[in-house]
Structure 1
């Protein structure tokens, strides 16, 4: 098949695998604590899993006036070792729960990754309310009488029971599952777990830069600092988010707070000689700036995270470039509309 059709077929296959596992557990009347849950790990494309679940639940979301939008960070590996059906099942229940408890709003799915070592990363999936008119409502059936006829019957799934299953699955994956108890919190649910990486992918070849010299990174930072007073970024990344329905004001407010906190932490951390924590923070920052299309700074931060040495001057320049980027994005959005100026 042509590559586009093949990619679509893989997403459909992932969706059916997730639905089969979910349906099996919904029909299982045995107590949850008595079930034998064994993970069947295989090479998995996390993007296919996420897209498959979105395809399954998009009709239910549309019926409630909701629009799910997905942002997968470039640092998330192309292939990981995981039980794809169980991973999809967790995301299915978390997204369904968010859909059931909200109406007339927007749901943002944000997928990010933190480097653990040369062969693994921690992947996190967060579901957030980004619509200004998001409202919490009473629990509704998974697929009600007005649901898509492709789903025969009505599924009055108990959200708490499904959440308990997700907690067990998260523990089996040595991960964490968090549900917001504060109704004012924008992040409704989040899941994270460590995964072995089978293929980083063209945008996340971290190991290839393991021997990169920080002197080169410092030189690159100085070149940028002397050649221009701004930090280059691709506006089409923000345009794409806006076209997907993401409220740029809400998105950038959260992004700015996270960046400012991490840059402040980085400012003091590299003087404490905590190499592992420093590398983790540099890698997280590279993913954050990549999210807004700051490719040059992303590459510099990623190279620094894998460099064997960390000179103070080079880190200071990276911090300065990060702060410049934050300042630029403060004025990049039209104050009256969610668009790029």
Structure 2
């Protein structure tokens, strides 16, 4: 008994120690498993984070590259083509006054282009930029014509036809920053071209009298002709075949609106962008301007608003000197080089021209002067798309003439039909090229 008691105690202690060691070993294994699980989870999270960061960086770099290529294409290549065409046309101007008028439009276009490029390449935040208006005597019609010339290649690439209607109440000369005014119109027209789904964009410029020395000028960009044929092309800024970046493309396209809003506020004006896709008016800008000259000078009146019989005489000279209507083949060559199918483009252009010429043929006998002027101006824009400079100038002068003679209108209609026939014969039937 004396030995049994210590033996029992020793055996019990051994069992307790063995159980304690087993519990400690199990606890250590559980802790080891927990740490291993946590390490695996942390490593997995870190790997996912690295993959996401890599994907985001790659996507950002790709989008930035596509945006830069699209921006340089629109703001450099297309306007350069337009300005080059304007410079070349100076050598074919019929009179020194016409050359001076063309030079003024070119100067306005170059000023707008330079200001737009400067702001586009400025990497500083928009809020930190010091925007100061440099006001000078400005002809709003020259500003509008210059911007139309800059964006004509972009509109033609998408099969669109911008037409301009400037009300006679708009002053000839105003006090404004011509570069900034052109910049606003440039961005608004470009945005409308990129988002438009119809065949024509109407630019309507009107004025409301404020007092004896100022007026409020409004510029509206609208979709017209819901039945017009649209040649579907990819937007210049849209990543090709990659819908993942459609939201970023739209954001980049609308980014210029912030600058336009700031410029409109500096001009004490307002900028309205339609939120309803069914609205015909895409965007409108209006602002008050001091008037330096209400009407055109005597020289401008004699050239820009000459009687139609003078235009008719010039048209007859062209018709008798040649049986064809001259046009610049390089305009169509440029479209072909940009990937435009000339057969499709000219098919829509021909239908639009034929309809307008038929309307013009009967409209001038109805004595509807306003509709006649609008139609003449629209036709001048249409023939300008294919580089028919002589007919474009004749139609523009006719649209501003104080009177309209039947013989002169009939001759313009005949010249338009001659141009349509020539373009049909100029396109290679087997390839989308000029013969």
**Distance of 1:300 and 1:340 partners within structure 2:** 25
Deviation at 1:219, TM superposition (A): 38
Match of 1:202 in 2: 296
Aligned 8 A contact 2:220 2:284 in 1: yes
Quick one: distance in 1 between partners of 2:148 and 2:350?
Answer: 27
* Structure number with higher helix proportion: 2
Q: Which moved more, 1:264-273 or 1:148-157?
A: 264-273
Q: 1:17 to 1:225 in 2, by over 3 A?
A: closer
Q: Does the Cα contact within 8 Å between 1:64 and 1:104 map onto a contact in 2?
A: no
Contact 1:176 1:191 in 2 (8 A): yes
Q: Structure 1 residues 227-236 or 22-31, which shifts more?
A: 227-236
What is the CA–CA distance in structure 1 between the aligned matches of 2:272 and 2:258, rounded to whole Å?
A: 12
Of 299-308 and 77-86, deviating more is 299-308
Where does residue 7 of structure 1 map in the other structure? 101
Q: Whole-Å Cα distance in 2 between the matches of residues 221 and 135 of structure 1?
A: 30
TM-fit CA distance, 1:105: 1.6
Matched pairs, number:
340
With over 3 angstroms needed to count, the CA separation of the structure-2 counterparts of 1:172 and 1:279, relative to structure 1, is farther
Listed one character per residue, the Cα deviations across residues 96-148 of structure 1 (whole Å, up to 9, x for unaligned) are 00000013421000000000000000000000000214799999665789999
Contact 2:223 2:282 in 1 (8 A): yes
The structural deviation recorded for 1:272 is 38
Compare 311-320 and 24-33 and name the one that shifted more: 311-320
In the alignment, is the contact (CA less than 8 A) between 1:177 and 1:192 conserved in 2?
yes
Q: Are the equivalent residues in 1 in contact too, given 2:379–2:395 (CA < 8 A)?
A: yes
RMSD value, Cα: 10.0
Change (3 A) 1:323 1:25: closer
Contact 2:234 2:240 in 1 (8 A): no
Aligned-residue offset at 1:232: 36
Alpha-carbon spacing, 1:134–1:171, altered in 2? closer, same or farther (3 Å)? farther
How far the C-alpha of 1:95 sits from its partner, in A, is: 0.1
| Structure 1 counterpart SS, 2:305 | coil
The answer to whether the 8 A contact 1:242-1:338 is kept is yes
SS of 2:393's equivalent in the other structure is helix
Greater Cα offset, 28-37 or 264-273: 264-273
Flag the 1:137–1:94 CA change in 2: closer, same or farther, 3 A: farther
In structure 2, do the counterparts of structure 1 residues 27 and 226 end up closer, same or farther at CA, with 3 Å as the change threshold?
closer
SS at match of 1:147: coil
Instruction: Judge conservation of contact 1:41–1:84 (CA < 8 Å) in 2.
Output: yes
Contiguous gaps of at least 5 residues in structure 1: none
Q: State which drifts further: 117-126 or 305-314.
A: 305-314
1:268-319 CA-to-partner distances (Å, cap 9, x unmatched) read: 9999999999999999999999999999999999999999999999999999
Identify unmatched segments of 5+ residues in structure 2: 1-95
Q: Choose 254-263 or 54-63, whichever is displaced more.
A: 254-263
Tell me how far apart the structure 2 counterparts of residues 340 and 74 of structure 1 sit (CA, whole Å): 40
In the superposition, the TM-score normalised over structure 2's length comes to: 0.44
Mean Cα deviation higher: 250-259 or 8-17: 250-259
Shift of 1:159: 1.9
* TM-aligned CA deviation for residue 339 of structure 1: 32
Once residues 258 and 315 of structure 1 are traced to their aligned partners in structure 2, the CA distance between those partners, rounded to angstroms, is: 18
Over 3 Å counting, the alpha-carbon distance change for 1:260 and 1:54 in structure 2 is closer
Q: Aligned pair in 2 of structure 1 residues 276, 237: CA closer, same or farther (>3 Å)? A: same
Deviations 1:14-42 (A, max 9, x none): 00000000000110111111111000000
- SS of 2:251's partner is coil
Question: How far did residue 82 of structure 1 move?
Answer: 0.1
Query: Is the Cα contact below 8 Å between 2:138 and 2:174 reproduced in 1?
Result: yes
Where does 1:314-329 land on structure 2 (aligned, <5 Å)?
none
Seen in structure 2, the aligned counterparts of structure 1 residues 213 and 103 have a Cα distance that, compared at 3 Å, is: closer
- With CA pairs under 8 Å and 6+ residues apart, which has the higher RCO, 1 or 2? 1
Say whether the 8 Å CA contact 1:130–1:247 is kept in structure 2.
Answer: no
Within 2, Cα distance between the matches of 1:26 and 1:34?
A: 15
Q: 1:36 to 1:271 in 2, by over 3 A?
A: farther
Larger Rg: 2
| Residue from 28, 38, 61 that aligns with 2:155 | 61
Q: 1:217: how far off?
A: 33
**Could you say what secondary structure the match of 1:183 adopts?**
coil
What does residue range 1-341 of structure 1 map to in structure 2 within 5 Å?
A: 2-133=96-227, 142=236, 158-202=252-296
C-alpha distance in structure 1 between counterparts of 2:434 and 2:208, whole Å: 29
Cα deviation for residue 77 of structure 1 reads: 0.2
Note the alpha carbon deviations across 1:236-292, whole angstroms, 9 max, x for none: 999999999999999999999999999999999999999999999999999999999
Residue 77 and residue 149 in structure 1: after superposition, are their counterparts in 2 closer, same or farther (change >3 A)?
farther
Relative to structure 1, the CA distance from residue 208 to residue 157 in structure 2 (aligned partners, 3 Å threshold; closer, same or farther) is same
